[in-house]
A and B are shown apart, each in its own frame.
Chain A
Amino acid sequence: MNSPSDNASPDVLVIGGGNAALCAALMALESGASVRLLETAPREWRGGNSMHTRNLRCMHDAPQDVLVEAYPEEEFWQDLLRVTGGLTNEYLARLVIRSSSTCRPWMRRHGVRFQPSLSGALHTARTNAFFMGGGKALVNAYFRSAEALGARIDYNAEAVSIELDGDRFAAAIVRHKADDGSTREERITAKACVLACGGFESNREWLREAWGVNEYGEHPADNFLIRGTRFNTGSIIANLRDQGADMIGDPTQAHMVAIDARAPLYDGGICTRIDAVSLGVVVNRFAKRFYDEGEDFWPKRYAIWGRLVALQPGQIAWCVIDSKAIGRFMPPVFPGVRDNTLDGLARQLGLDAAQMVQTIEEFNRACRPGRFDHTVLDDCTTEDVTPAKTHWARPIDVPPFYAYAVRPGITFTYLGFRTDDSTAVHFNGRPSPNLFAAGELMSGNVLGKGYTAGVGMTIGTAFGRIAGTRAAASALGHDGADTLRIIEERDRAAV
């Protein structure tokens, strides 16, 4: 047990306060290293985007407590391959997948509890293990466990830059913010460091620059909402990029969802999503459809709609449903715009009413009769309309009609540090001996694009644990080659 006051210059400095950072801190503590953890946010906002999460995607070959049936490695890998369109690293992806099958006893040991798949999310009962109470409960448990193991936690402490000695971590320059708003800088040295302080999604200038200007002369990023924390400004990503760290990922790639346009600018979290897309149609500012709303099950498609809306003029779209859909999708947090006629609905939305009526009527005529079943890829499809709606296509004809304005909501960005199974930050292809990265800021190694529910937490947990173990080994003078064996042993011991 280390005394917190001794940890001004710890063995392992962890920068970040979300899932990956906490996993790293806990593993380092378990290895006997002293740990100091820097969380940019004040205590009540701690945990970064992890506090908005609800599950992690888990491989398993047989039913496990809250997980039903089996979700084998190969199926998980194929799912990941499909959503990323091949923009992934099979070796690292499989490492993540395999570690998800054994990590939960260890999570439980540190206070995380699991619950059955939520109502309205039953299809994930096989693939995703839900945290009891969601991600904030997980974050609370990990902080509590880290403190009990002697970690020193600094809130309101933002690492602004990293001081390197060649490719070695030497120190972090940290800005402490006091309650009265005043700041104080501290140079914190440590034997090793784990970077796990998120992507750059809340840095609006950077998003603006990355997304540039579209064909309509707009800056699309100005209309993005941030689903999570306001503290992920990417300052360490930019700082180390400028110091020559090897990078991976396209800055416009992110986990992006279509969310209610009325969502708060930050931290709207899960409740702002609109799950009615596959039950209706989606029109853009010209009152025209632009993509197959019934391409696949919503859980497999929700993550592409953020980007689809981002590519529309004004970065806004409207999901239009009729009364048949009410009660069939997760209740949205904001009420929909409601009208008894499509014409009236379009007028309320400020859209071209004639075009709206034409779009819907054209769609309605194209709907072929079939057996509607929202639980399977049914045979309700359209003919002779572009774009087609390939499943769950039913005429929008039972008033009242409802519409939900949606905007792109960024969950997290994928640009980050290129690394390997050691999680070491690389410089010109060479791994740093004592600087490691985990979580969103290296997720681009596995997620080139696309997303599948719960995989962010799987990546954060797997690489967070590796990074913490590696950093402790580096600080305590071990070589780190047996990291995976150590993790395996801890998982077995926790069962």
Chain B
Amino acid sequence: MQQFEALTREAQSLAEGGPSAAHARPPGADAMSAAEAEVAREMIICNACRYCEGFCAVFPAMTKRLEFHRADVHYLANLCHNCGACLHACQYAPPHEFAVNLPRALARVRGETYAHYAWPASLGALYQRNGLAVALALAGGFALFLLLAVAIHGSLFAGDARGDFYRIFPHGLMVSLFLPVFAWAVVALGIGASRFVAEVKPATGDVGASGPATAEALHDSFKLRYLDGGHGEGCHNEDDAWTRDRKRFHHLTFYGFMLCLAATSVATLMHYVLNIPAPYGWFSLPKILGISGGVMMVWGTVGLWQLRKRRHPDHLEPSHSGMDRGFIALLFLTGATGLLLMVLRTTSLMPVALCVHLGAVLAFFLMMPYGKFAHGVYRVAAMLRYSVEKRQPDRLGLSGE
């Protein structure tokens, strides 16, 4: 045994990289954050194993590389949907000394990229602070502000609005309040995403997206293809069993949100183009879209919240708990208060419900570019680069065992 140990030490000292290079920081890691260097370390191990190739896009993207620089790490982090499959299948997961936990390592970097690419950069730090309490306080604060404004106006419980929101807040006021907030969110996220693409593009083939690549990326993103485990039967939540629930509740939430957005857009068109001002009847397009969207959002966010509570702790980056839950809570509040408003709109409580709903919506859009919503934008951007890169000829000619 002594001979064995001596020779092992000898081999180790002879070989570059110290006693266990799988634990060392990879070359070029000095310019990286600790989280980025950890992803690069784990990727070297994964790239020598590759068992997870069929699960998602991260591993095929990995096999196109021998080294993992900062741009590669940012790209891979945002490709990951955190389905958990690779962790449960990993022969090198803790307690193995290689301690590979890719879902968490990538999640950590993902969080850093949101802050890193944020516009304006000084607001990037908000990602760290926008927890559940901040989200609720913001929504509550706005609601309170609006309630006070309406109360001063004397129409809070006036009861003569008869379902007409514009009696409470004139249409022009609502537009001038929400349009800048919404535009800000779009511009800020757009700049963040283009900064991300600018860094990642040279590392992913350095060519623009063709039509088929774009179509594939959008298809796979909006279908959440990579939450299906590669076999189409779902991803993981609390353990090594597959579940389709995460995908279902995400779809409900996202498409519910899109329906609500569509309701607003249709109403705007009706208002300005067709000159049909609100209120609209139960069977009008804005109502149908808005109510179904609201129900889906509430259903989806309740489901996601429940799943998150049961989620295997190793999947998650603990410091993201606030960002995740704050986002789900705001989405829920937006949907739920919208539905409440729908129910109460002909009662004397309408003005109160309206203020609460608008408070939630305002908080949601304000936090949009500095919260979990960003994941969708960066994910689609990464998926786009993936669809481009996979169409490029392979630079490597590997052959192995």
Contact = CB atoms under 8 A, between A and B. Distances in A.
B92 A269 contact: yes
B89 A261 contact: no
Interface in B1-30: 1, 3-4, 7-8, 10-12, 14-17, 19-22, 27
Given A298-B400, A331-B44, A333-B22, A135 B240 contact: no
A328 B397 contact: yes
Contacts of A63: none
Given A51-B91, A331-B48, A298 B401 contact: yes
Interface stretch (A165-173, A190-198, A248-256, A334-342): A334-342
Contacts of B19: 262
B310 interface: no
Contact of B49 (A271, A329, A348): A271
Interface string A110-129: 00010110111111000000
Given A120-B400, A133-B86, A270 B14 contact: no
Given A134-B51, A223-B3, A349 B14 contact: yes
A404 interface: yes
A204 to B, nearest CB: 7
A453 B401 CA distance: 8
B96 interface: yes
A269 B398 contact: no
Interface in A129-186: 130-137, 140, 144
Contacts of A137: 51, 85, 88-89, 240
A43 to B, nearest CB: 11
Given A269-B49, A270-B48, A333-B44, A134 B89 contact: yes
A271 B44 CA distance: 9
A54 B16 contact: no
Contacts of A374: 397, 399
A219 B7 CA distance: 12
Contacts of A104: none
B345 to A, nearest CB: 50
Nearest to B63: A119
A347 B47 CA distance: 30
A261 B398 contact: no
B399 A136 contact: no
A407 interface: yes
Given A44-B95, A137-B88, A140-B240, A327 B395 contact: yes
A336 B49 CA distance: 17
A111 to B, nearest CB: 9
Given A133-B86, A271-B92, A335 B53 contact: no
B95 A45 contact: yes
Contact of B401 (A204, A222, A302): A302
A261 B14 CA distance: 10
Contact of A133 (B55, B63, B233): B55
B89 A331 contact: no
A93 interface: no
Interface string B76-114: 000000000110111110111110000000000000000
A117 to B, nearest CB: 9
A267 B91 contact: yes
A204 B5 CA distance: 13
Given A121-B400, A222-B1, A330-B398, A405 B96 contact: no
B91 A269 contact: yes
A27 B398 CA distance: 40
- B3, B44, B85, B401: which has the most chain A beta carbons within 10 Å? B401
A52 B91 contact: yes
Nearest to B395: A327
A394 to B, nearest CB: 14
Given A115-B54, A328-B399, A334-B22, A132 B44 contact: no
Contacts of B66: 326-327, 331
Contacts of A132: 54-55, 89, 229-231
Contacts of B1: 204, 222
Contacts of B148: none
A260 B11 CA distance: 9
Contacts of A314: 7
B60 interface: yes
- A222, A332, A407: which has the most chain B beta carbons within 10 Å? A222
Contacts of A405: 11, 14-15
B85 to A, nearest CB: 6
A233 B10 CA distance: 27
Contact of A275 (B51, B397, B400): B400
B60 A119 contact: yes
Contact of B53 (A119, A204, A298): A119
Nearest to B19: A262
A110 B113 CA distance: 40
B110 to A, nearest CB: 22
Nearest to A271: B48
Contacts of B231: 113, 132
Given A327-B395, A404-B15, A136 B400 contact: no
B400 A261 contact: no
B53 to A, nearest CB: 5
Interface string B368-401: 0000000000000000000000000001111111
Contacts of A262: 11-12, 15, 17, 19-21
Contacts of B44: 331, 333
A244 to B, nearest CB: 32
Interface string A286-326: 00000000000011001000000000001110000000001
A261 B63 contact: no
Contacts of A375: 399
A261 B16 CA distance: 12
A267 B14 CA distance: 22
B312 interface: no
A326 to B, nearest CB: 8
A133 B401 contact: no
Given A270-B51, A331-B47, 16 more contacts: A51-B91, A52-B91, A116-B54, A119-B60, A120-B50, A130-B54, A137-B240, A223-B8, A264-B20, A269-B49, A326-B66, A331-B66, A333-B45, A334-B15, A337-B14, A453-B401
14 contacts: A44-B94, A113-B230, A119-B50, A119-B63, A122-B399, A131-B51, A133-B54, A133-B89, A135-B51, A262-B11, A270-B51, A271-B45, A333-B21, A350-B10
Interface of B: 1, 3-4, 7-8, 10-12, 14-17, 19-22, 27, 44-45, 47-55, 60, 63, 66, 85-86, 88-92, 94-98, 229-231, 233, 240-241, 395-401
Query: 7 shortest A-B CB distances, which residue pairs?
Result: A134-B51, A115-B54, A133-B89, A330-B400, A261-B11, A271-B48, A222-B4
